[in-house]
């Protein structure tokens, strides 16, 4: 198993912490939204996807089914980032040379 696969597995299992020294970043790619955290003690950033219910509401907004205010109210009622993003699965990591690398269920591609 490669070093990045080990780190991803440790993040997903809670054996590695996300850095609290750096604020999370946000990333949008192809209409999908992610939160990006640095893995504590490394120079690796990992990406987590939006929760399905947030993605569904964002899609409704983008299709004109709800207003910006309704989407903002929905998100504002959440109890933090855990409600918005799926911290159980790393979907990508950032490589300094290659940029964002998306992973599959078996680990890094």
Q: What DSSP letter does each residue of 17-76 carry, written as one string? A: PBPSSS--EEEEETTEEEEEEEBTTSS-EEEEEBPHHHHHHHHHHHTTSS-HHHHHHHHH
Q: What is the CA radius of gyration of the chain?
A: 15
Mean of the pLDDT values across residues 68-93?
A: 94
- Span 9-64, pLDDT tens digits: 999 999 999 999 989 999 999 989 999 999 999 989 999 999 999 999 999 999 99
Does the pLDDT value for residue 68 go beyond 60? Answer: yes
Q: How far apart are CA 106 and CA 90, in angstroms?
A: 11
What's the first-to-final CA gap in the chain, in angstroms? 12
pTM attached to this predicted model: 0.87
């Amino acid at each position: 198993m490669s070093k990045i696969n080990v780190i991803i597995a440790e993040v997903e299992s809670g054996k590695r912490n996300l850095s609290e020294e750096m604020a999370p970043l946000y990333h949008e790619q192809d209409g999908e939204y992610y939160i990006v955290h640095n893995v504590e003690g490394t120079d690796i950033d990992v990406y987590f996807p939006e929760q399905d219910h947030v993605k569904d509401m964002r899609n409704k907004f983008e299709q004109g089914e709800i207003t910006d205010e309704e989407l903002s109210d929905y998100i504002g009622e959440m109890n933090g980032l855990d409600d918005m993003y799926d911290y159980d699965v790393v979907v990508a990591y950032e490589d300094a040379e290659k940029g964002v690398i998306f992973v599959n269920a078996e680990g890094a591609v």
